[in-house]
Structure 1
Amino acid sequence: MIFLSTLSAKFKTPGDFWGGLASMLVALPASVAFGVTIYSAISPSYAVFGALAGILGAAALGLIAPTFGGTDRLISAPCAPAAAVLSAFAIELVKQGIAPSSIVLLLTVLGILTGLIQMFIGFLGAGRLIKYIPYPVVSGYLSGVGLIIIGSQLPRMVGAPLDSMWWKATLSPALWDVRSLVIGGATVMAALLAPKLTKAIPSTILGILAGVLAYVGLAYNDATMTTLTDNKLVLGALGASGSGYLDTITGRWAEIGDLKLAQIAALFGSALTLAALLSIDTLKTCVVIDQMTRTRHDPNRELFAQGLANITSSAIGGIPGAGTMGASMVNLSSGAKTRISGIIEGVMVLVAALALNAFIAWIPVATLAGILIVVGLRMIDTEPLRFLESRATVFDFAVVAVVIGFALMVSLIAASAVGVALSILLFVREQVGGSVVRHKTFVNQRSSTWYRPEAEMRLIAQRGDKAVIFELQGSLFFGTTYELYALLEPEIKTRDYIILDLRRVQSVDITAAHMLNLVRDMLRERGVPLLLSNVREQLPNGRNLLEFFRQTGLIDDTDTVQVFKTIEAAIEWVEDRLVGDLEKPAQEETPLRLQEMDLFQGRKDVTLADLEGRMKQLSVKSGETIYTMGDQERELYLIRRGAVRIMAPISGSRQLHHIATYGRGDFFGGLAFLDDRARSDTAIASTDIDLFVLSLDQFNQLADEHKKLALVLLMAISRTLAQRLRHADGERTLLHV
């Protein structure tokens, strides 16, 4: 009941019904043909078993795969890769003298093992690898499949012998049957023109109706077309009957126990090959559907469902299969919207096999060929032709052409393999084509979060070009290693400090690590350190970059390579050495008097004594909060000893980030003191800290008595804030270049 309710809720469009019906008309005859191909390899007398196996396979796959899968419009049915592998397997067993009944059992077990392997692949999550296939490869595969479909159906379209090559059948009018040509032509014309005339009935259905009507018209003057006997123009009887189903299935399982474990184990290699082929066939079809419908499938769920469907199909005597391109495209072109269309296709297979056998027998072969030719035409992607208009995209067009060439001249599986290889080449080309250096700056162009006295800032401005900063991006691998080394080499010879910021690096391979080792060794000869910042322990590819650098020997026990959590920390380390005044521990610092602070240089002692009398003296332990964001206090803090960290949210995030550090002789809290608004940041003591605290009320009283001092104080605060703002604006402009 739950399943029926779900089915009823999702079945909202008649397109699903038409799509299921139309795709059944394509999938069922092909499934019967594939079954006959496989079982005829055992013995001609087993052809009827093959027809039954094709029907059972189409029904099981049609019902199970869409029920448990998640790809809308996908039609699953017995397919060419399954027919090729299983028929070759059967021929080999016949050569070994295996009894026909045993071969049938081994085919059943092989199908079950194939399904189990597919389910295991989906469980491991390996199906997600399909998302790395780029558009040119998908386009080439799509067009290649379309051309293959057209080529395979041309002999049927013109009535030539089915074993004729498409080019021979096309170029040899002597092989044509005019009746097939007329029927197929009527089908193609109706299917192509139908969308321009009406949207109510799918073009596929109208094409089939046009073909059937053309056949009826020709049969009016040709008596040979009114009988199924020796009539090659129609499908003919499927050879399926309800009475044979149960006996065949029960008989199959009654004999399965006769197989030995060694025989089953020997099937694993063939099952692995078949599982790989069917999985690729399914996922390729899903990618094509995604491309044409702008949707996204779940590859792992789909593989799990396909495996379960193949197990079910084999267990009831059917043959395994996959998501098929031809039937899926017919389903799509007939207006299907959801995966319910696949379930309807499976139901229709059973109905057709049991009740409509006589009707289906009269469907012209040329009509189905014409429908598939139209599907093939619609699958050909002409968009890549635009790639020829620009030199930048010529290589992408070449990729499309190569994939099409392999699909036509070798096989679709070979085209898939070539597509994967070309995907790697496309990735390498893209990575090599872009620069791995996002910005190159110097320490005198950027600053740490530590705001220093003016004298130190002037010294850093003079000496800052001795330290170069490379902000790297993308992937550091063999394709970009030479470019990066070429940019680093001149700096290695002239700079005293080299900083590599890895925050935007996505991956690093062993070749890039070896190059960085070489850079470190060259710097070590000059006594110059290599500074690394943002060396993450979790890259997007899952690699621990810090551990990787240790394993490759880049980071060792020496101090040649220094590692910092942030670029600001690395710059601060360099600034300390440029000014030649290493930070003293807070407990060793002597608290400053007002006279010693830059803000009050040249002021009279009496005046400063009055100011100091209006200030509070505050001591805060390391890690304690001085004020928090949103506080309403209007107080200015002057640092006598120690350091304070300023924390604030970035880009609307609630999480606080370290944006500044102020040290001995600096002040903070000036914005709220000046604009009389709530605090926009949080101040936390970085070390034990001693402070002078001037409230706004005390300042106003000071202004009444010492107007000049108040004015000087405001000007000093404003000047320092303006310098900080100017420096921040300069860095922001630099980072956006």
Structure 2
Amino acid sequence: MQTAQADGPLARAKREWPPALLAALTTAAVQTPFAAFYGLLAFAPLGPDLAHQALATALFGTAAAHLAASLAGSRNLILGPRPATTLLVAGLLSSLMLRPETQLPDGSGADVGLLLALTAIGVALTGLLQLLLAGLNLARLAQFLPHPVRAGFVNGVAVLLLVGSLPLLLGLPLSADGVLATLTKLPLLLRQTEAGALLVGLVALALGRWPLRWRGRLMPAGLSAMLGGIACHQLLSISDLLAPGPTLQVPARLPPPDGDLLLQGLRLAQEPALWPLLPHLLAFAAAACLLCTLDSLLVAGAMDGLRGRRHDGRRELLAQGVSNVAAALVGGQPSAPALGRSRLHFQAGGSRQFSVALYGLLILLCLWLAPTLLGQVPMSALGASLLLVGLQMFDDWSLRAPRRLWAGGLVPAQRRGLLLDYLLMALVALLVIWRGVALAVGVGVLLAMLLFVRGQARGLLRSSLRGDQRRSIKQRLPAAQALLQREGRRIAVLELEGPLFFGTAEPLIARLRELVDEVDYLVLGLHRIGAVDGTGARFLLEFAADCEARGKHLLLAEWGDASDPRLQALLAGDVHGQAGGLRLYADIDQALQWAEDDLLRRERFEAAPQPARLSLAQTQLGQGLDAEELDWLAGRMQGRQHAPGERIFAAGDAGDALYVSIEGEIAVLLPAAGGAARRLALLAPGVILGELALLSGEPRSTEARAETALWLMRLERAAFEALRHERPALADKLLRNMSLQLSARLAGVTRELAAALAR
């Protein structure tokens, strides 16, 4: 009874609410000034007159996003404007302001209300795209963006933050100038620097780099920098030694959000004159959706380690989409989780989902009850914090790669690959800096697609070997082995890897058309072909028909049975009946074995037909024996018949005899515990079986079964031992033949190992 009371609602509330409230307060103290500043930065192109509205909409949007995300099921992720999305909004506004469609009729400038409404539509479209990705369960597609492209985005945004933070750090007003303009004006900015503001910024920078301690624990870097900047600013204000510089200009009452922004944006649908703006909004929404989705999935994955449970990517993306639609309703920016603030919130005690909603409510309380508290934050401290964020954003791989290229030790292919990745990263970063994040996102995605197609087209051919380098497991008589060694280059064995689709099929078929001029048999190992689209199926079927017309043989291996979806996709593309002549095999070895058999038939058996049953002289055991020796040996061997599939001996049986097939093939199997036995070899007629166990006296290590109808000759141990005493010369010849077969088998194993290492 006492336990039940201890776990009741009241006790649970007393246990869970204090840490959740502390976590929300801590996160709000650190992040609210940043959210306000990101609002100023995003709407800076509209000028200082709208600074208060920009600040308010950023905070209202952040609060709305958290409340909506929490209700939609997001797990402990703290959202807000991100540097990249902030710059996206600024870039969108800068481009829309120059469009004739947004200008006022009196020619006095752009229609600010329309610009804000269009931005809200762009943010709403971002959320709707995220909801669409979540609904189609395509969230993980965003993670296929190559790392060099991601690194380019991150590094470009880091440079923009660093350069954008300089005027603030120097105590100067926020500027919407680009990187080049800011760097060009840097000497002028340095002459206009306010010494007190610079001192405040440097103190904040130092305390952000080396945070303060509270009760033996390091403060979060952002909170330490902010508190240090505020304290230094207050000391300078009291002492009158230096002018401490400006603070965030926040009125006593912030303007409420405009709830009619989206309704105003409906003018886009009602006025055809505004339709040319739609591509700008869609490009913005696509770029923002990609960046926000990447942040959501990466941060959620990183937080799994702290929370001790896996996240639901679809659920998180659904919540983020809802949060962005909610932010758009109050004119906010696109929001996405950040690892730093999410970790800060969790480590401060925010382990429950409702603590995220508490954080949003605290921001609303701050807006309504004490907005002037934000007015205590020095702009130079914000500039220092922004500079720290920029420094921490640089991708670690981008910083280490030049040293690795310079140090050497890479093979040429590795060096070329690393250099290509680095150049791609640099290109995307430059596009972010000089042309904006939206264009860089679009170009980066396009380049990622091109690199993917290029990499798949080049990597589809995993290995290529000829028949004299790779043999089937079928063991043959020396004459057949010699012929295959001599003519084996007429067989090509190719293992493919990757998706067979429109971007990879044509380069592959072009390579196969070159190869088929040199060979008669083409074996394709398709186990690693992950998917086949209509274009890939059509190219492969057309190539198969071309091979058949030229008298060549195309053998497709490792596509399982008729239920294999890749095979079904191939057959579905057979509109011209070209699949009728396809040769399909369960594995490469079976296909290679058929090619070898057919090559032997064409080269030898057609010219000199062989009898259905070999004589003892034609076997490996009888090589080099005269007629008298053959008769004597045959008289001491026993003949046996086996039906297909019948066991000859099992693993563990006594090694009391050797066998030679004079008709039919023998399968040598390796038993597997609890599963199907694996076929190790297939012995053609005339090949010796069981000689090692006969010589060593050890039990059988493998199993032998009749692959086809079989006629065996069996030499028992007792007969062999008698032969060694009665006919030592004959025994020496038999031992020599066994040794030749063992050496040929060892050479085959060595050849297979070399071929495997070359794949």
TM-score (norm 2): 0.71
Aligned ranges 1:213-232 → 2 under 5 Å: 213-222=231-240, 232=246
Query: Residue 195 of structure 2 contacts residue 243 of structure 2 at CA under 8 Å; is this kept in 1?
Result: no
Query: Residue 71 of structure 1 contacts residue 339 of structure 1 at CA under 8 Å; is this kept in 2?
Result: no
For residues 485 and 76 of structure 2, the distance between their equivalents in structure 1, rounded to whole angstroms, comes to: 63
Aligned ranges 1:58-207 → 2 under 5 Å: 58-62=62-66, 65=69, 75-77=79-81, 80=86, 81=88, 115-163=127-175, 165=177, 166-167=182-183, 170-173=186-189, 176-194=193-211, 200-207=218-225
Residues 1:18 and 1:583: Cα distance change in structure 2 (over 3 Å): farther
Q: CA deviation at 1:379?
A: 1.7
Residues 1:436 and 1:394: Cα distance change in structure 2 (over 3 Å): same
Residues 1:115 and 1:428: Cα distance change in structure 2 (over 3 Å): closer
Query: Residue 648 of structure 2 contacts residue 704 of structure 2 at CA under 8 Å; is this kept in 1?
Result: yes
Q: CA deviation at 1:415?
A: 1.1
Between 402-411 and 547-556, the greater mean CA deviation after superposition: 547-556
Query: Residue 646 of structure 1 contacts residue 682 of structure 1 at CA under 8 Å; is this kept in 2?
Result: yes
Residues 1:365 and 1:709: Cα distance change in structure 2 (over 3 Å): same
For residues 251 and 588 of structure 2, the distance between their equivalents in structure 1, rounded to whole angstroms, comes to: 76
For residues 659 and 2 of structure 1, the distance between their equivalents in structure 2, rounded to whole angstroms, comes to: 66
Indicate which of 338, 342, 350 corresponds to 2:361.
350
Aligned ranges 1:17-416 → 2 under 5 Å: 20-21=27-28, 23-30=30-37, 33=40, 54-62=58-66, 65=69, 75-77=79-81, 80=86, 81=88, 115-163=127-175, 165=177, 166-167=182-183, 170-173=186-189, 176-194=193-211, 200-222=218-240, 232-237=246-251, 239=253, 275-285=285-295, 300-311=314-325, 319=332, 321-323=334-336, 328=339, 347-354=358-365, 357-381=371-395, 382-386=399-403, 389=406, 392=416, 393-416=418-441
**Secondary structure of the structure 2 residue equivalent to 1:617:** strand
Query: Residue 564 of structure 1 contacts residue 570 of structure 1 at CA under 8 Å; is this kept in 2?
Result: yes
**Secondary structure of the structure 1 residue equivalent to 2:376:** coil
- In the other structure, the counterpart of 1:457 is 481
Query: Residue 595 of structure 1 contacts residue 605 of structure 1 at CA under 8 Å; is this kept in 2?
Result: yes
1:131-171 superposed Cα distances (whole Å, 9 cap, x missing partner): 33223222211111112222333333333333452447644
Residues 1:632 and 1:270: Cα distance change in structure 2 (over 3 Å): farther
Residues 1:524 and 1:498: Cα distance change in structure 2 (over 3 Å): same
Indicate which of 612, 617, 629 corresponds to 2:640.
617
Q: CA deviation at 1:485?
A: 5.3
Aligned ranges 1:403-442 → 2 under 5 Å: 403-427=428-452, 430=455, 436=461, 438-441=463-466
* Percent identity of paired positions between Structure 1 and Structure 2: 22
Q: CA deviation at 1:416?
A: 1.2
Query: Residue 329 of structure 1 contacts residue 375 of structure 1 at CA under 8 Å; is this kept in 2?
Result: no
Query: Residue 478 of structure 1 contacts residue 509 of structure 1 at CA under 8 Å; is this kept in 2?
Result: no
1:68-122 superposed Cα distances (whole Å, 9 cap, x missing partner): 7889976434853568879979x989989xxx99999999999777545422302
**Secondary structure of the structure 2 residue equivalent to 1:727:** helix
- In the other structure, the counterpart of 1:529 is 552
Specify the code of the residue in structure 2 equivalent to 1:362.
Q
For residues 13 and 505 of structure 2, the distance between their equivalents in structure 1, rounded to whole angstroms, comes to: 52
**Secondary structure of the structure 2 residue equivalent to 1:648:** strand
Aligned ranges 1:478-493 → 2 under 5 Å: 489=514
Residues 1:5 and 1:589: Cα distance change in structure 2 (over 3 Å): farther
Query: Residue 469 of structure 1 contacts residue 501 of structure 1 at CA under 8 Å; is this kept in 2?
Result: no
Q: CA deviation at 1:209?
A: 1.9
Residues 1:709 and 1:132: Cα distance change in structure 2 (over 3 Å): same
Q: CA deviation at 1:444?
A: 3.8
Between 477-486 and 685-694, the greater mean CA deviation after superposition: 477-486
Q: CA deviation at 1:417?
A: 1.3
Residues 1:26 and 1:687: Cα distance change in structure 2 (over 3 Å): farther
Query: Residue 128 of structure 2 contacts residue 325 of structure 2 at CA under 8 Å; is this kept in 1?
Result: yes
Specify the code of the residue in structure 2 equivalent to 1:180.
A
Q: CA deviation at 1:732?
A: 2.1
Specify the code of the residue in structure 2 equivalent to 1:730.
R
Q: CA deviation at 1:384?
A: 4.7
Query: Residue 525 of structure 2 contacts residue 557 of structure 2 at CA under 8 Å; is this kept in 1?
Result: yes
**Secondary structure of the structure 2 residue equivalent to 1:172:** helix
Specify the code of the residue in structure 1 equivalent to 2:199.
V
- In the other structure, the counterpart of 2:4 is none
For residues 625 and 684 of structure 1, the distance between their equivalents in structure 2, rounded to whole angstroms, comes to: 4
- In the other structure, the counterpart of 2:661 is 639
Structure 2 unaligned blocks of 5 or more: 1-6, 106-111, 409-414
Q: CA deviation at 1:724?
A: 1.5
Specify the code of the residue in structure 2 equivalent to 1:200.
L
- In the other structure, the counterpart of 2:411 is none
Query: Residue 406 of structure 1 contacts residue 415 of structure 1 at CA under 8 Å; is this kept in 2?
Result: yes
Query: Residue 629 of structure 1 contacts residue 681 of structure 1 at CA under 8 Å; is this kept in 2?
Result: yes
Q: CA deviation at 1:402?
A: 1.7
Measured on the aligned residues, the alpha-carbon RMSD in Å equals 6.1
Query: Residue 26 of structure 2 contacts residue 345 of structure 2 at CA under 8 Å; is this kept in 1?
Result: yes
1:594-620 superposed Cα distances (whole Å, 9 cap, x missing partner): 5664424435476345523xx462422
Query: Residue 15 of structure 1 contacts residue 334 of structure 1 at CA under 8 Å; is this kept in 2?
Result: no
Specify the code of the residue in structure 2 equivalent to 1:378.
Q
1:217-274 superposed Cα distances (whole Å, 9 cap, x missing partner): 1211459999xxxx95234357369xx9xxx99x99xx99xx99x99xx999999666
Q: CA deviation at 1:522?
A: 8.3
TM-score (norm 1): 0.73
Residues 1:689 and 1:470: Cα distance change in structure 2 (over 3 Å): closer
Q: CA deviation at 1:469?
A: 2.0
**Secondary structure of the structure 1 residue equivalent to 2:290:** helix
For residues 712 and 631 of structure 1, the distance between their equivalents in structure 2, rounded to whole angstroms, comes to: 27
Specify the code of the residue in structure 2 equivalent to 1:76.
G
Residues 1:640 and 1:677: Cα distance change in structure 2 (over 3 Å): same
For residues 318 and 14 of structure 2, the distance between their equivalents in structure 1, rounded to whole angstroms, comes to: 21
Tell me whether 1:685 sits opposite 2:706 in the alignment: yes
For residues 519 and 458 of structure 1, the distance between their equivalents in structure 2, rounded to whole angstroms, comes to: 31
Q: CA deviation at 1:371?
A: 0.4
Structure 1 unaligned blocks of 5 or more: none
For residues 510 and 741 of structure 2, the distance between their equivalents in structure 1, rounded to whole angstroms, comes to: 40
Residues 1:17 and 1:2: Cα distance change in structure 2 (over 3 Å): farther
**Secondary structure of the structure 2 residue equivalent to 1:125:** coil
Specify the code of the residue in structure 2 equivalent to 1:683.
A
1:644-667 superposed Cα distances (whole Å, 9 cap, x missing partner): 3233379x9965443321233334
Residues 1:284 and 1:678: Cα distance change in structure 2 (over 3 Å): same
For residues 379 and 695 of structure 1, the distance between their equivalents in structure 2, rounded to whole angstroms, comes to: 77
For residues 222 and 743 of structure 2, the distance between their equivalents in structure 1, rounded to whole angstroms, comes to: 73
Q: CA deviation at 1:453?
A: 2.0
- In the other structure, the counterpart of 1:599 is 621
For residues 350 and 525 of structure 2, the distance between their equivalents in structure 1, rounded to whole angstroms, comes to: 49
For residues 365 and 19 of structure 2, the distance between their equivalents in structure 1, rounded to whole angstroms, comes to: 27
Residues 1:681 and 1:455: Cα distance change in structure 2 (over 3 Å): same
For residues 693 and 714 of structure 1, the distance between their equivalents in structure 2, rounded to whole angstroms, comes to: 16
Specify the code of the residue in structure 2 equivalent to 1:279.
C
Aligned ranges 1:654-673 → 2 under 5 Å: 656-673=677-694
For residues 337 and 68 of structure 1, the distance between their equivalents in structure 2, rounded to whole angstroms, comes to: 23
For residues 7 and 483 of structure 1, the distance between their equivalents in structure 2, rounded to whole angstroms, comes to: 67
**Secondary structure of the structure 1 residue equivalent to 2:621:** helix
